[in-house]
Amino acid sequence: MQSTCDIHVGACGFRIRATVLSDDSQHVTFDLESDCGKIAALGRRLAEAGTVDAYGEIDPRAGSVLLATARDALTGCCAGCVVQVGLFKAMQVAAGLALPKDIIIKLETSHD
């Protein structure tokens, strides 16, 4: 199965298009397109890592290849960058571990 997601990061203005592919409903590969150099580097590192075991990624007792690679590649970025969450969800959908439902984070301010 293939999962594609578009991530509009926010204040930095970068957009990411991620395609996650699974041929066996367990192992996934990532293909990232972005104008952000850090995200492009993350895409190259994930491609070099090869297939990622989606089942292993969702096990909270195991280390996450995706999240560790993102943490290493995105040094100097905002610690709250939402790209990792979007990629994680796209991985789950590609492996059939989650339904393809949009994730929405809406931010508002108030000066009450």
What is d(CA 93, CA 74) in angstroms, rounded to the nearest whole number?
Answer: 23
Residue range of the domain that includes 35:
2-94
**Per the domain annotation, does 31 fall within a domain?**
yes
Helix axes 65-73, 37-49, angle to 10 degrees: 140
What is d(CA 86, CA 58) in angstroms, rounded to the nearest whole number?
Answer: 14
**Per the domain annotation, does 109 fall within a domain?**
no
Three-class SS of residue 43?
A: helix
**Per the domain annotation, does 23 fall within a domain?**
yes
Chain centroid offset of residue 28 CA:
12
pLDDT the model gives residue 78:
74
CATH value at residue 43: 3.90.1010
**Per the domain annotation, does 107 fall within a domain?**
no
pLDDT in tens, 9-43: 878 888 999 999 999 999 999 999 999 999 999 99
Report the domain count for the chain: 1
Which DSSP category does 67 fall into? H
From residue 22, give the alpha-carbon distance in Å to each of 1, 4, 68, 77, 94: 5, 12, 20, 29, 6
Determine phi and psi for 71, rounding to 5 degrees: -60, -40
Neighbours of 20 (CB within 10 A): 27
Tokens 């790209």 -> residue: 83
**Per the domain annotation, does 105 fall within a domain?**
no
pLDDT in tens, 55-103: 999 988 888 999 999 999 988 877 778 899 999 999 999 999 999 999 8
pLDDT the model gives residue 82:
87
